[in-house]
Structure 1
Amino acid sequence: MTDFSIGLFGIGALFVLMVLRMPVGMAMLTVGFFGTWMLNGFRSANALMVTETFSQVSNYSLTVIPLFILMGNIASVAGFSRGLYEAAFAWVGRLPGGLASASVLGCAAFSAVSGSSVATAVTIGRVALPEMARFNYSSGLATGAIAAGGTLGFLIPPSTGFVIYAILTEQSIGQLFMSGILPGLLLAGLFILTVTLISLRNPEAGPRGAHVPLKERMAAALRAAPLLTVIIVSIGGIYLGVFTPVEAAGIGAGLVLILALFTRKLTPSTAWRAVSDTVSTTAMLYLIIIGAAVLNPFLSMTQLPSMLGEAMTSAGLGPYGVLFLVVVAYLILGMFMDGLAMLVVTVPIFYPIMMSMGFDPIWFGVVAVIMIEMGMITPPVGMNVFVVKSIAGDVPMATIFRGVLPFWFAMGFCLLLLVLFPQIALFIPQAMF
């Protein structure tokens, strides 16, 4: 059995283990360990697992993950998300589909705190879905806007997707964070445009809200200002070079904690829930990172990534032809794989291929994250669709999938714009560094 055949068998075993509901990180760890054992013996496999586990757990840069997760969890349990949503509704509620547009804006703002698509969809969905139901919004538009808006948590910094991509590719977390700002704002704008077009075509799907006087709009903005200030300080500090992403995460978490204590919105029970959620989520992400660190050397030993790269290069498709194949592969994988699983499995294979084609590594990180976002709302898996279903239990799954379809096409259009105009993703990182 050749090394390449062992690599293919390992990838197949990885998919089987994930289908059998084994945790993603444990599945990668298992395949990487036993695959290395088959190729180089037990001692080599054991040494790889021990050294990589210690290396990843002791990686200072990874402390950005629990700090930003804690920041988002405190903001969620303290109810700050409602202030963001109310401020967004006060300013855009008068537009066609205003409540749905406000939900997208709320998701975009909360994404800059949480860094998680699931947390964003759950937090804003709990606030926004009852309001849209009260104003007789179409179930498809309401749930679709929340499911799609929630995916912004994977793109707008601080994104856990960018952190894991940075670890896998040894790129700068700060540059990746900055590269997600303009594409994130562009995608949020395209979502709002999608809501507006749907509501203009069918006014009953997204009726306009009542006019809100300027004084009340300013008051709503002031109520959301403290959390928005935390976002500006933490992300703006990275941009200005005042502090590193890890320091920004610590400052952001500290400021949100002080804000929650000062406003007396943090009780012992909610504080415990925020901390326990942070610990469980961090443990899951660390296990994924450790699993990827053990799997990737195994794949390199089998020459699987390099041989696939040579096959794509020799096919004569050119850089954009190869990019098209990668996009198609992501679309197919998104139908049945979780977003984080797709990221850690595909990046070690696709990243060397994209670099050999001359693409920018930061730009490809943004493209990969958007493709994974599309997978989050693609049937039959569509993680964010299931999250929204857990909140809107009376809405059929088919209705939610139909509701997210226009937003899926908006994501595709955003991806096309990034391919045509790479500077959308690269302008801020290049201006910084």
Structure 2
Amino acid sequence: MTDVTAGLLGILALFLLMVLRTPVAFAMLLVGFFGYWGLSGYRSASAMLLTESYSAVSSYSLIVVPMFVLLGNIASAAGYSRGLFDAANAWVGRMRGGLASASVLGCAAFSAVSGSSVATAVTLGKVALPEMRRLGYADSLATGSVAAGGTLGFLIPPSTGFVLYAILTEESIGRLFMAGILPGILLAVLFMAVIWLVATLDPAAGPQGPRVTWAERIRVSSQAWPLFGVILVSIGGIYLGVFTPVEASGIGAGLVILMALVQRKLDRAGFTAAILDTLKTSAMLYMVVIGANVLNPFLAITHIPATLGAELQTLGLGPYGTLVVILLAYVVLGMFMDGLSMLVITIPIVFPVITGFGFDPIWFGVVAVIVIEMGMITPPVGMNVFVVRGVAGPDVALTTVFRGVAPFLLAMIAGLLLIIAFPAIATFIPDTMFG
């Protein structure tokens, strides 16, 4: 059996284990360890398992994950997400579909402290969906806007997707965080344009809200300024070079905890629940990183990435033709796999191909994350769709939510094409900042 054949069998075994509902971290561990054992022997496989597991969990850069997850959980437990939504509604609620647009803006703002797509969708869904239902919004528009807005949590820094991508490719977390800002704003604007168009074509789907005076807007916005301040300090500090992403995560988490305690918005039960949720999420992400670190050496000795790159080059599709093939593969995988699983399994395989064709690795990180975001709202898996449907209640059909996210999916495709056509949308800020 050739090394390439062993690698293909390993990938097939990986997908089979996931079909059998084996957690992706343990599926990668099993395939990586036993595959390496079969090709290099037990002693080499045991040494690889120990060294790769230790190097994965001892990575200083990985500290940003539990810190930013804690930041988002504390902000949610303290009710700061409500302030973000109310502030956004005060400014855009008067527009057609204004409450849905406020949901998107609230998701974008909460993404800057959460880093998680599902957490963003759940947190803002609990606040926005009852309000939209009370005002007579169509279920499809209400749930679609929250599910789509939630995907911004995977793109707008601090994104867990960017952290994993950086660890897998050894790229700069700071550059990736900065690269996600303009694409995140672009997608938020496109989502709001979709909401306005849907509400214009069907005014009953997204009625206008009442007029709000400037004094009321300022009053409501002032309630959200403490959390905005944390966002500006953490993300702005990275941009200005005052501190690193790891330091920013600790400072942000510390500030939001202190702020919640001073304002008496966090009791013992809420704080305990936030800590436990952070531990669970962080443990899951750390196990995924360990699994990826064990799988990667197996893929390397099978020469799968090099063979794939050579085969794609023989097709004569050119750089952008090859990129299209890779992105289409991501779209198909996104119908059956969650985002983190797609990222850790595919990046070690496709990254050498992408860099071999001369594409900017930071730019491709943004493109890959957006395509993975699309998988979060496409059937049959669509993690955000299931989460939002659970928040909306059993009287909202799953097909209603999928119908609601369809126009937002088109907006994401349009945004992706713009970033491919104009790479500076993703690279301008990191290139300006880091030179």
Length-normalised TM-score, structure 2: 0.99
Q: Do residues 310 (structure 1) and 310 (structure 2) align?
A: yes
**Cα distance between partner residues in 2 of 1:159 and 1:69:** 10
The question of 1:319 aligning with 2:341 is answered no
Please give the secondary structure, in 1, of the residue aligned with 2:205.
coil
**Alignment partner, residue 105 of structure 1:** 105
Give me the CA root mean square deviation: 0.5
Q: Secondary structure at the match of 2:171?
A: coil
SS of structure 2 residue aligned to 1:158: coil
Residue 366 (str. 1) matches residue 362 (str. 2): no
For residues 391 and 249 of structure 1, the distance between their equivalents in structure 2, rounded to whole angstroms, comes to 29
Look up the equivalent residue of 2:425 and give its one-letter code. I
Give distance in 1, aligned partners of 2:197 and 2:6.
51
Residue 19 of structure 2 is matched in structure 1 by 19
Counterpart for residue 46 of structure 2? 46
3-state secondary structure, aligned to 2:336: coil
Q: Distance in 1 between matches of 2:350 and 2:406?
A: 27
* Secondary structure in structure 2 of the residue aligned to 1:204: helix
1:77 aligns with 2:77: yes
Query: How far apart, in 2, do the equivalents of 1:77 and 1:46 lie?
Result: 43
Deviation at 1:423, TM superposition (A): 0.2
Q: Tell me what 1:184 maps to.
A: 184
In structure 2, the residue matched to 1:238 is 238
Greater mean alpha carbon deviation, residues 416-425 or residues 14-23: 14-23
Alignment deviations for residues 221-275 of structure 1 (CA, whole Å, 9 cap, x no partner): 1110000010000000000000000000000000000110011011110001000
Give the partner amino acid of 2:408: F
Deviations 1:285-305 (A, max 9, x none): 000000000001100111111
Amino acid at match of 1:34: F
Q: 40-49 vs 273-282, which deviates more? A: 40-49
Shift of 1:24: 1.0
Q: Secondary structure at the match of 2:156?
A: coil
Q: Which residue of 1 aligns with 2:159?
A: 159
Give the equivalent residue in structure 2 for 1:213: 213
State the shift of 1:120 in Å.
0.2
Whole-Å separation in 2 of the counterparts to 1:130 and 1:21: 34
Partner of 1:405: 406
Counterpart in the other structure of 2:250: 250
Aligned residues: 433
Residue 57 of structure 1 corresponds to 57
> 1 CA distance for matches of 2:392 and 2:327?
31
Amino acid of the structure 1 residue aligned with 2:326: V
Structure 2 distance, partners of 1:8, 1:140, is 42
Q: Identify which range, 384-393 or 414-423, moves more after superposition.
A: 384-393
Matched, 1:228 2:228: yes
What is the CA distance between 1:385 and its match in structure 2? 0.5
Query: How far is 1:315 from its partner?
Result: 0.9
Partner of 2:278: 278
- Name 2:397's counterpart in structure 1: 396
Per-residue CA deviations over 1:277-332 (Å, capped at 9, x if unaligned) read 00000000000000000001100111111101101011111100001101110110
> 1:204 — aligned with what?
204
Q: C-alpha displacement at 1:392, in angstroms?
A: 1.2
| Post-superposition offset of 1:16 | 1.1
Offset, 1:389: 1.3
CA distance in structure 2 between the partners assigned to 1:11 and 1:109 by the alignment: 38
Corresponding residue for residue 425 of structure 2: 424
Which amino acid in 2 is paired with 1:400?
V
> What do the CA deviations read for 1:376-418 (whole angstroms, capped 9, x no partner)?
0010000101110110122100110010000001000000000
Equivalents in 2 of 1:46, 1:384: separation in Å?
A: 38
Q: Distance in 1 between matches of 2:42 and 2:388?
A: 45
Greater CA drift, 119-128 or 54-63: 54-63
Task: Name the CA distance, whole Å, in 2 between partners of 1:254 and 1:295.
Answer: 35
Distance 1:208 1:261 in 2: 37
* CA deviation vs aligned residue, 1:114-158 (integer Å, no higher than 9, x gap): 000000000000000000000110100000000000000000000
Q: 1:89-132: per-residue Cα shift (whole Å, max 9, x none)?
A: 00000000000000000000000000000000000000000000
Q: Distance in 2 between matches of 1:316 and 1:98?
A: 48
C-alpha separation between the residues in 2 aligned to 1:34 and 1:121? 38
Query: How much does 1:220 deviate?
Result: 0.9
CA distance in 1, matches of 2:403, 2:46: 48
Distance 2:206 2:9 in 1: 50
Fraction of identical pairs, as percent: 65
- Amino acid corresponding to residue 7 of structure 2 in structure 1: G
- Counterpart Cα distance in 2 of 1:336 and 1:57: 28
Q: Deviation per CA, 1:27-79: give whole Å up to 9, x if none.
A: 11111001001100111111111101111111111101100000000000110
Matches of 1:341 and 1:112 in 2, distance apart? 22
2:20 & 2:400 partners in 1: Cα distance? Answer: 28
Provide the TM-score with structure 1 as the length reference: 0.99
How far off its partner does 1:21 sit? 1.3
Cα separation, 1, equivalents of 2:52 and 2:303: 20
Matched to 2:198, the amino acid is I
In structure 1, how many angstroms separate the alpha carbons of the residues matched to 2:16 and 2:299?
17
Match status 1:136 vs 2:145: no
Aligned to 2:355: 355
Q: What is the CA–CA distance in structure 2 between the aligned matches of 1:372 and 1:166, rounded to whole Å?
A: 16
Q: Matched residue of 2:203: which SS?
A: coil
Amino acid at match of 1:424: I
The runs of at least 4 aligned residues of structure 1 exceeding 6 Å deviation read none
Aligned to 1:337: 337
